[in-house]
């Protein structure tokens, strides 16, 4: 039987969709299988601001981040739905020890002074993405180019070879089961959405003693965050957490004091000990190729287009092309 596609991508989140669009741009016939409604994906819940949060220093990751920054900035300039270049202030509590490892990916990062309790601040431009219109745009690009989107849950990765000889596994948390990878684990994230009183600058305090704190304006609302809870696998509402997030963010940006609350978003980031897995599966053989692309945690948007380029190299050529020598990713301490 003739295959219905050259590549089947498993997963309709930002990692799967950017990989699918990139593969299609390189001439492949692509089908995307997604298990859940797009509105229920963790990508839709994400604050979706370019920043390699909770990501260890690594040459490969830096290259992904740099490529993604460049592509998202290009899309912002081109009016792609949901993508905006946003001025950003990152407040530091520890003594400033020089530019962070990810600084080469930014076009305009500069350091300056800050009032106590902060020791310094970094200013840079960060692409931000409103995920609902952006994912819709990615899906439209794929289908306009002849790609297919099918809602179908696979029980085994091998089942996808019925559709195409090359499979890209971008299944997020589900990859823990599908790829038998015990390194995959959830990280619970909790956001509060409030009406935008006119803010245009993102502000973040990564090391707030009460928890990661950030304020990300969008067109019609402001994303207040957040939490980063490794190993917590539920999405039940928590009024106390929501109230604490709002208090921290109002302390950080007092203009938010009277902003009405519009809602909350809770999602499970697909993290992985050792960092993202983007590689050709050792079981791949002539005529069948399995490429893994999962475990990006809270940095899916930040690494998406760079990872997509490497996924396409692996899927179509069987080797990484433009990302340079690989370097082992460090393994963070598992959550207690």
pLDDT in tens, 179-194: 999 999 999 999 999 9
In a domain, 331, yes or no: no
Q: What is the pLDDT of residue 256?
A: 98
Q: Which domain holds residue 175?
A: 7-317
CATH number of the domain that residue 167 is part of = 3.40.50.720
Average pLDDT on 40-60 reads 82
d(CA 189, CA 269) in angstroms, rounded, equals 7
On whether residue 323 sits in a domain, the answer given is no
The verdict on residue 194 lying in a domain is: yes
Asked whether the beta carbons of 264 and 237 are under 8 A apart, the reply is: yes
Burial of 26 (0-12, 13-18, 19+ CB in 10 A): middle
- The answer as to whether 335 is a domain residue is no
Res 249 pLDDT > 70: yes
If pLDDT is split at 50, 70 and 90, which confidence band does 39 have? low
Q: What is the pLDDT averaged over residues 277-287?
A: 90
> Three-class SS of residue 336?
coil
The pLDDT confidence band at residue 43, using thresholds 50, 70 and 90, is: low
Number of domains in the chain: 1
pLDDT of residue 285: 81
pLDDT for 83-131, tens place per residue?
999 999 999 999 999 999 999 999 899 999 999 999 999 999 999 999 9
pTM strictly above 0.75: yes
Over residues 122-170, the pLDDT tens digits come to 999 999 999 999 999 999 999 999 999 999 999 999 999 999 999 999 9
**Does 215 reside within a domain?**
yes
Note whether 197 and 258 are within 8 A (CB): yes
Pair type for strands 166-169 and 7-10 = parallel
Polymer length in residues for the chain? 336
Nearest to 320 by CA among 102, 75, 63, 120: 63
Instruction: Judge whether 332 lies within some domain.
Output: no
Residue-averaged pLDDT of the chain = 91
Report yes or no on 233 lying in a domain.
yes
- Residue 1 inside a domain? The answer is no
């Amino acid at each position: 039987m003739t295959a219905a596609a050259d590549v089947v991508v498993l997963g309709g989140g930002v990692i799967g969709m950017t990989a699918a669009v990139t593969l299609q741009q390189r001439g492949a016939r692509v089908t995307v299988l997604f298990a859940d409604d797009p509105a229920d994906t963790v990508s839709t819940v994400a604050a979706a601001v370019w920043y390699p949060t909770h990501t260890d220093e690594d040459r490969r990751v830096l290259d992904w981040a740099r490529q993604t920054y460049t592509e998202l900035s290009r899309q912002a300039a081109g009016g792609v739905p949901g993508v905006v270049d946003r001025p950003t202030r990152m407040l530091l509590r520890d003594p400033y020890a020089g530019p962070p490892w990810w600084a080469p990916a930014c076009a305009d990062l500069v350091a300056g002074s800050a009032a106590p309790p902060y020791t310094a601040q970094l200013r840079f431009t960060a692409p931000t993405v409103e995920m609902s219109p952006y994912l819709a745009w990615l899906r439209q690009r794929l289908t306009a180019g002849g790609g297919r989107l099918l809602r179908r849950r696979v029980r085994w990765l091998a089942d996808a070879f019925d559709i195409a000889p090359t499979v890209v596994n971008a299944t997020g948390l589900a990859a823990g089961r599908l790829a038998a990878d015990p390194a995959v684990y959830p990280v619970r994230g909790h956001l509060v959405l409030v009406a935008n009183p006119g803010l245009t600058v993102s502000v973040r305090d990564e090391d707030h003693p009460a928890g990661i704190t950030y304020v990300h304006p969008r067109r019609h609302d402001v994303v207040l965050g957040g939490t980063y809870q490794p190993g917590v696998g539920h999405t039940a509402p928590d009024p106390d957490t929501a109230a604490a997030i709002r208090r921290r963010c109002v302390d950080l940006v007092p203009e938010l004091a009277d902003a009405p609350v519009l809602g909350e978003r809770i999602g499970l980031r697909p993290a992985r000990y050792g960092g993202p897995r983007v590689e050709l599966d050792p079981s791949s053989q002539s005529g069948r190729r399995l490429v893994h692309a999962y475990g990006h945690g809270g940095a899916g948007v930040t690494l998406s287009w760079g990872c997509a380029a490497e996924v396409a190299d692996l899927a179509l050529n069987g080797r990484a092309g433009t990302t340079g020598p690989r370097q082992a990713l460090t393994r963070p301490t598992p959550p207690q």
